[in-house]
Amino acid sequence: MIAMPRRLTFYLARNVLGTTLLVGLVLLGFMVLVDFAGELQDVGKESYTLSHAAMVMVFTIPRRCYDLFPYVSLIGALMALGRLAGSSELTAMRAAGLSKFQIGVGALVPLLALTVLMAINAETLGPLGEQQAQILTNSKSKQLIMARYSGLWVREGDVFLNARNGAQRTINGVPHIELNDVRLYQFDPEGRLLSLAHAEHAEHSQAGWTLKDVERTFFESTRVRVEKIASEHWQTELDDQTIEATITRPRYLSSSELRTNIDYLKRNQLDAAKFENDYWARWFYPLKVIVLCLATLPFAFGSLRSGGFGKRLFLGMMIGIGYVLAERMLVNLSDVYRYDVRLAYAISPLLLLAICWGWLARRI
């Protein structure tokens, strides 16, 4: 008798795991096919080939898995529990001595195991794959070179630009591009270095490029001359859209890289909000998965006993969309009202958990 609940819990966990993996495979395949069709439009630009487009899709699969998993786990758990409820297997499990708590644990354990794998993926394969995909994507332009440890390299005429990292943000509705730890190397036609400029950061707006905290070194025939300038306008024809395409989004970085960027930006009194948002999103990721999984339990003991595949899929999508909208709204409000973004990431799952468990308590 003692082994029976364990066997039933294992059976439940196996069903949830299998359904979740199947849902993930379908959604991932659909997303990859749609994005691959978009990449085909760029095939033939410079050295960008069909094999490049295919490899970009392959390299971005780890990151896509991480992004999709919370909602895949929600739909997978909902589909699995709904199918078991529809066939009265959950009722039989309850009659065999399995409590609602044990059913919840049985559904949650396999998803927690996958969450651990996704967390490891986000720190290893995800960032590495995005880096490689970005290198291939940048082959659409002959001006761009991306190096993992030395940042972005761009050639514009006789000037080579190197930036450690960059970010895009919107100020008063106007898009701005910021590059940090910028170096400009200017060469003569014979390849001799004429000058080297180092700027703490460069900013592109509608007025063009502005370099700030600049130290420029001139290599003259008889001496080396150094100039320091607080701010200067950089005359260049460098396309800001080209730079924008090379900037790695913070959510594609590892936690350690995000932490390094946050420290660098704060040390130089720059806005680190975008990096902080994605950094703390990593820490609240497991809580999101747990709560979205537990959100399926009230339906498993209620409305999912009747209804088919379409009803369960629609219900899962509505819960997922509602959660995403609520989370984004709270994060955006944290940017506007300057309260701790950790509070924004905590409110959404805790609120959903309270609603679902309140609903479940009424059914016990």
Domain count, the chain: 2
User: Are 8 and 113 in a shared domain?
Assistant: yes
- Residue 107 covered by a domain: yes
**What is the Cα gyration radius of the chain?**
26
Question: Does 236 share its domain with 292?
Answer: no
- 26 falls within a domain: yes
The verdict on pTM exceeding 0.85 is no
In a domain, 354, yes or no: yes
**What CATH number is associated with residue 242?**
2.60.450
What pLDDT, on a 0 to 100 scale, did the predictor assign at position 1? 42
Angle between helices 50-59 and 125-137 (to 10 degrees): 160
Query: Residue 171's beta-bridge partner residues?
Result: 174
Query: Does 223 share its domain with 311?
Result: no
**Alpha carbon distance 360, 297 (integer Å):** 7
First to last CA, the chain: 24
181 & 285 share domain: no
Q: Are residues 196 and 282 in the same domain?
A: no
Q: Is residue 336, in this structure, part of any structural domain at all? A: yes
Annotate 55-85 with b (16+ C-beta within 10 A) or e (fewer).
ebbebbbbbbbbbbbbbbbbbbbbbbbbbbb
Tell me: do 7 and 120 sit in the same domain.
yes
**Angle at the Cα of 240 from the Cα atoms of 138 and 160, rounded to 5 degrees:** 65
Based on the fold, state whether residues 115 and 149 are members of the same structural domain.
no
By residue range, what is the domain housing residue 308?
A: 3-124+268-363
For residue 20, being part of any structural domain is answered with yes
If asked whether residues 120 and 168 sit together in one domain, one would say no
Residue 122: predicted pLDDT: 92
Residue 311 lies in a domain: yes
pLDDT of residue 44: 81
Looking at the structure, tell me whether residues 152 and 238 fall in a common domain: yes
pLDDT of 3: 57
- 15 and 116 part of one domain: yes
Tokens encoding 229: 């300038």
Q: Looking at this protein, which amino acid is placed at residue 293? A: C
Give the DSSP letter of residue 186.
Answer: E
For the stretch 287-334, pLDDT in tens is: 999 888 888 877 776 655 555 556 666 777 788 888 888 888 998 888
**167 within domain boundaries:** yes
pLDDT of residue 55: 93
Q: Alpha carbon of 157 to those of 33, 50, 126, 193, 194: distances in Å?
A: 38, 29, 34, 14, 14
Q: Specify whether 32 is located in the same domain as 72.
A: yes
Which of 249, 281, 302 delimits the end of a domain? 249
Q: Which residues of the chain have pLDDT under 50?
A: 1-2, 143-149
Q: What is the pLDDT of residue 174?
A: 62
140: which DSSP letter? Answer: G
Picking from 249, 279, 308, the residue at the C-terminal end of a domain is 249
Binning the chain into helix, strand and coil, the percentages to the nearest 5 are: 60, 20, 20
Do residues 7 and 115 share a domain?
yes
| Domain end marker among 193, 222, 249 | 249
In a domain, 196, yes or no: yes
Task: For residues 265 and 25, give the distance between their C-alpha atoms in angstroms, rounded to a whole number.
Answer: 38
